[in-house]
Structure 1
């Protein structure tokens, strides 16, 4: 069965083990390694790798819930009452409005994030 005209067919967007390579959480490029970029999408997604001992400073995302899936390495989730351990296979819900920070452990950390796509910036007339 095919999708209706004008609707893209489902497809593989990324193969994480191939993206990370044999060193998974510890080696290779760091930062955002992949992002969902297809036009017309309703979601944003990224695969991010942090070097051992590095961190994403605690911050608040006021508008979007984020789902984070650890795909390699280990680390710590900061925010809430106490730090929480992150290990491969851990799924974390980061509710909008919550404070969250991520620290990579000795093996580095790689994770997938998924959230609703932010609307593009628009130029509008100023309200009088």
Structure 2
């Protein structure tokens, strides 16, 4: 006597439906199917892994390039700052020299004016 003779398939289904086990069985099948589907979608393919690694390498290369550019620009700003300070000192020196020349010329003109005033007073006195 086989199992089917003792309990035919319809009797198994009837026992499930009477005990509520059919819904548990359907729920179990559904959960198993969901687990398989999620598992299949969750597996990363080799091409996706390679693409992610390539993207990470490109991001690192870009970050390194930007760091190098910022360093170069900082050095350039420092050089420009030094050049501007040197140029400002040079202009200040030139302006001081020109001011001293103008003061010397004004002193010479004042002296010449003083000499002319004396001549005029001496000529008026004659």
TM-score greater than 0.5 by the shorter chain: no
Higher RCO (C-alpha 8 Å, min separation 6): 1
More helix per residue: 1 or 2? 2
Highest Rg: 1 or 2? 2
More strand per residue: 1 or 2? 1
TM-score by length of 2: 0.14
